[in-house]
Amino acid sequence: MNCTKGKWKVEGDFIVDEKGQSICKLAIITARDANAHLIVIALNACASVNPDNPMAVAESIKDMYEALQKLVQVCRDVSYTHSELNRARQALAKAEGK
pTM across the whole model: 0.55
State the DSSP string of 35-74. HHHHHHHHHHHHHHH-TT-HHHHHHHHHHHHHHHHHHHHH
pLDDT at 14 over 80: yes
pLDDT interval class at 67 (50, 70, 90): confident
Give tens-digit pLDDT for 22-33: 888 876 655 666
How is the chain split into domains, by residue range?
A: 8-52, 59-95
